[in-house]
Amino acid sequence: MHEASRADARAIWRAALGAGNVGPLVDRALQRLSVDPTHPSWRHVFVFGCGKASGAMAAAFERALGQRITEGLVVVKDGYTVPTRCIVLREAGHPVPDARGQAAAEAMVHRVRSAGAEDLVVFLVSGGGSALTPAPVRPITLAEKQETTRLLLGAGATINELNAVRKHLSLFKGGQFARAAAPAPLIALILSDVIGDPLDVIASGPTAPDPTTFADALTVLQQRGVAYLVPTAVRARLEAGARGEVEETPKAGDPAFERVTNVVIGNNALVVDAAAAEAARLGYRAEVLTRGLQGEAREVARELVARARALPQRACLIAGGETTVRVQGKGKGGRCQEFALAAALELSAADRLVALAAGTDGTDGPTDAAGAIVDASTVARGERVGRAARAALDDNDAYTFLSGAGDLLVTGPTNTNLLDVYLLLRD
Q: Give me the pLDDT at residue 178, please.
A: 97
pLDDT at 158 over 70: yes
Q: Quickly state the pLDDT bin for 105 (edges 50, 70, 90).
A: very high
Could you tell me if 306 and 404 lie in one domain? yes
Q: Quickly state the pLDDT bin for 1 (edges 50, 70, 90).
A: low
Could you tell me if 200 and 252 lie in one domain? yes
CATH number of residue 335's parent domain: 3.40.1480.10
Number of domains in the chain: 2
Q: Give me the pLDDT at residue 352, please.
A: 95
For 342-374, how does the pLDDT look when each residue is reduced to its tens digit (9 = 90+)? 999 999 999 999 999 999 999 999 899 999 999
CATH number of residue 140's parent domain: 3.40.50.10180
Is 15 inside any structural domain? no
For 32-65, how does the pLDDT look when each residue is reduced to its tens digit (9 = 90+)? 998 889 888 999 999 999 999 999 999 999 999 9
Could you tell me if 87 and 216 lie in one domain? yes
For 198-256, how does the pLDDT look when each residue is reduced to its tens digit (9 = 90+)? 999 899 999 999 999 999 999 999 999 999 999 999 999 999 999 999 999 999 999 99
Could you tell me if 243 and 282 lie in one domain? no
Is 10 inside any structural domain? no
| Global confidence as pTM | 0.89
Structural domain boundaries enclosing 37: 21-266
Question: Which of 235, 266, 297 lies at the terminal end of a domain, its last residue?
Answer: 266
Which residues contact residue 281 at a Cβ distance below 8 angstroms, ignoring those fewer than 6 apart?
Answer: none
Could you tell me if 285 and 374 lie in one domain? yes
Residues forming a β-bridge with 266: 191
